[in-house]
């Protein structure tokens, strides 16, 4: 596995616009997906993630027209998720310009779907999105699905191991507790997962400062760090984060 780290902006899309909230609610408009994608590529982003955040709860597929518009603007690797429930839908998203597909609730509801997807488009293109929430009385993180609306009986680490055994090539790990809070990534949860699996783990939820990126790479052992609010609302920029991480000796893509 590569030691090189990645900075990955995330476009959460609803009704054709990029939005960002806190703990999956209180969404604010952050702009046009294609324009933002072009901006992030110029800024030096290593990859881009596009999540159609309303697709699953609205019971529909991903907005392929918006995916196509974004894909036209960028050359960097591009992951798309939201509402992907069939191998046919995976193929459509790849045909629209995505390099990888992210599945979350659909994989949890039917783990066999991971195997089917890996067989159809290749393991390296299957990203499993795992949203975790801390349960204090159990001193562990449980998987939440359906955009944080449904708690499950599986721990994050247990589910991470299972998805890798089914053929997942990457894990997108989000701390629901930290989402949009800018209080730092959940280092304990990230480290628990990076220790348990041998595929790249992209940490998400909580980026607020350049120190947060540094810590999730050096202490959490994440391969990539996903961020939204901190970039969309110009608290800092991808180029500034990368320059400072390089100065601190982090090896970047």
Which are the catalytic amino acids? 12, 131
> Tokens 């974004």 — which residue?
70
- Tokens found for residue 163: 């998805």
- Tokens found for residue 168: 């997942």
Contact 57, 149 (CB under 8 A): yes
CA dist., res. 128 & res. 186, Å (int): 18
Pairing of strands 150-155, 140-145: antiparallel
**DSSP 8-state symbol, 168:** -
Distances in Å between the alpha carbon of 69 and those of 29, 37, 85, 97, 105?
A: 18, 9, 22, 9, 25
Contact 213, 241 (CB under 8 A): yes
CA dist., res. 1 & res. 181, Å (int): 30
């Amino acid at each position: 596995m590569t030691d090189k780290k990645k900075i990955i902006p995330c476009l959460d899309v609803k009704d054709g616009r990029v939005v960002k909230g806190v703990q999956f609610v209180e969404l604010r408009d952050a702009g046009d997906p294609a324009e933002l994608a072009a901006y992030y590529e110029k800024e030096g982003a290593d990859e881009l993630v596009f999540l159609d955040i309303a697709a699953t709860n609205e019971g529909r597929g991903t907005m392929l027209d918006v995916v196509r518009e974004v894909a036209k603007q960028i050359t960097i690797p591009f992951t798309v998720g939201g509402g992907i429930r069939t191998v046919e839908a995976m193929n459509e998203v790849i045909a629209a310009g995505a390099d990888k597909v992210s599945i979350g609730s659909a994989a949890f509801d039917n783990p066999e779907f991971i195997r089917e997807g890996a067989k159809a488009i290749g393991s390296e293109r299957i990203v499993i999105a795992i949203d975790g929430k801390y349960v204090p009385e159990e001193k562990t993180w449980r998987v939440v699905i359906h955009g944080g609306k449904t708690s499950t009986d599986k721990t994050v680490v247990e589910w991470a191991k299972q998805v890798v055994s089914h053929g997942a090539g990457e894990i997108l790990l989000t701390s629901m507790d930290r989402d949009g809070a800018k209080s730092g990534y959940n280092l304990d949860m990230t480290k628990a997962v990076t220790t348990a699996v041998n595929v790249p783990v992209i940490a998400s939820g909580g980026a607020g400062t350049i120190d947060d990126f540094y810590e999730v790479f050096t202490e959490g052992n994440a391969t990539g760090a996903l961020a939204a609010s901190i970039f969309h609302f110009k608290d800092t920029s991808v180029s500034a984060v990368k320059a400072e991480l390089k100065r601190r000796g982090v090896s970047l893509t």
